[in-house]
Amino acid sequence: MAEVTIRDLSKAYGGVQVIKGLNLDITDGEFVVLVGPSGCGKSTLLRMIAGLEAVTGGDINIGARRVNNLPPSERDIAMVFQNYALYPHKTVAANMGFALKMRGMEAGAIRAKVERAAEVLGLTPYLDRFPRALSGGQRQRVAMGRAIVRDPQVFLFDEPLSNLDAKLRVQMRTEIRELHLRLKTTTVYVTHDQIEAMTMADKIVVMQGGRIEQVGAPLELYDRPANTFVASFIGSPAMNMIEGRIEGGAVLAGGARLAVPAGVQVAEGQEVIFGIRPEFFRPAADGLAGTVAVVEPTGSETHVVVRIQGRDMVAVFRERVTIRPGDAITLAPEAGAAHIFDKASGARLG
């Protein structure tokens, strides 16, 4: 186990900067999830930590060692990719032990390590099978097993579950989390999946355009997003955002007067963005008036899309509703649940 420290890290391909002076501290044993839109630099960052990509500027430290110039094999990391090609002509046990064999480890010691990892991953009954005789989830576990047997200081995962079906993903998500609780190996995990990020992470890093927008515990990011980018990126369905202006201490937006939560400093006449999460919208006599466009029952809750002055807002109801498309509806944000952002900078007003 080890901490990972990243200082002023940059990466350019030709003249194009794709990582722009990034700083990040990952503590020993932490499970850190990187999220951000496609192309924001998540894989590049991971590959630089792994040593698969050269650093243009700055430093990467794993434990006490500056690893910038170390080859991947000397960094004591193990990486699991989305496309974890297993050797088709080797058994599960041979696939898992291959890296150790290449290192020259003695056969009995390899067997012991493989058996221990197989037990942790529930792969014991499959050790003598070939990959073609395994399900997708079992193959994914073998790929994880290959990483585990190496006892690395750091695990790096790049969207390891994105080839699995929805149900298997949920199951593997829990398994990876349990594995981490048991092994406590420092982990950096890239995903596109909101729920994966929220449920697995000790700490989420939200990236955009080669920079970090915010770092924090999942619920910290959810409850106090630093800016409109993080606010709209974390949470599904996304936070509703309405442009408005401060008048008489309230936000005038969408034809309604919306209260500013206590403690938020705003200036008279200031242009702001009023943000409200879908679960904090309630039908009310007074508020934002609109027309129901779509009703989406998910079973446990109902998502109602409401068109308000030409904009779609989403409200989520836990209880069953009788609302239908075309209905007139007035929505009010729950008191104190709003987020207020400065329109010009996008920054949260606190």
Ligand X SMILES: Nc1ncnc2c1ncn2[C@@H]1O[C@H](COP(=O)(O)OP(=O)(O)OP(=O)(O)O)[C@@H](O)[C@H]1O
List interacting residues with Mg ion (CB under 5 A): 43
Work out whether 99 is an interface residue with ligand X (CB under 6 A). no
For the bound state, the minimum distance from the C-beta of residue 188 to Mg ion, rounded and expressed in Å, comes to 13
Pairing of strands 31-35, 203-208: parallel
**Rounded distance between C-alpha atoms, residue 220 and residue 114, angstroms:** 39
For the bound state, the minimum distance from the C-beta of residue 350 to ligand X, rounded and expressed in Å, comes to 29
Work out whether 189 is an interface residue with ligand X (CB under 6 A). no
Site size for ligand X, by CB under 6 A? 10
Judged by CB under 6 A, the stretch of 35-43, 102-110, 234-242, 251-259 that binds ligand X is 35-43
DSSP 319: S
Work out whether 43 is an interface residue with ligand X (CB under 6 A). yes
Judged by CB under 6 A, the stretch of 31-39, 90-98, 217-225, 314-322 that binds ligand X is 31-39
Work out whether 114 is an interface residue with ligand X (CB under 6 A). no
Residue type, 121: L
Contact 271, 243 (CB under 8 A): yes
**Rounded distance between C-alpha atoms, residue 161 and residue 177, angstroms:** 13
Judged by CB under 6 A, the stretch of 38-46, 121-129, 311-319, 325-333 that binds ligand X is 38-46
DSSP 75: T
Work out whether 40 is an interface residue with ligand X (CB under 6 A). yes
Work out which of 8, 23, 39, 171 binds ligand X, going by CB under 6 A. 39
Of 25 and 53, the one with the shorter C-beta distance to Mg ion is 53
Work out whether 15 is an interface residue with ligand X (CB under 6 A). no
What lies within 8 Å, CB to CB, of 223 at 6+ separation is none
Residue 321 interacts with, from Mg ion, ligand X, none (CB under 5-8 Å by kind): none
**Rounded distance between C-alpha atoms, residue 250 and residue 259, angstroms:** 5
Work out which of 6, 42, 78, 203 binds ligand X, going by CB under 6 A. 42
Residue ranges of E strands in the chain = 4-13, 16-26, 31-35, 57-62, 65-66, 77-80, 154-158, 186-190, 203-208, 211-216, 240-247, 250-253, 256-258, 271-276, 281-297, 302-308, 311-317, 328-333, 339-342
Query: Which residues in 44-83 contact ligand X (CB under 6 A)?
Result: 44
What lies within 8 Å, CB to CB, of 18 at 6+ separation is 11, 12, 41, 44, 210
Of 43 and 185, the one with the shorter C-beta distance to ligand X is 43
Site residues (CB under 6 A) for ligand X? 13, 18, 36, 38-44
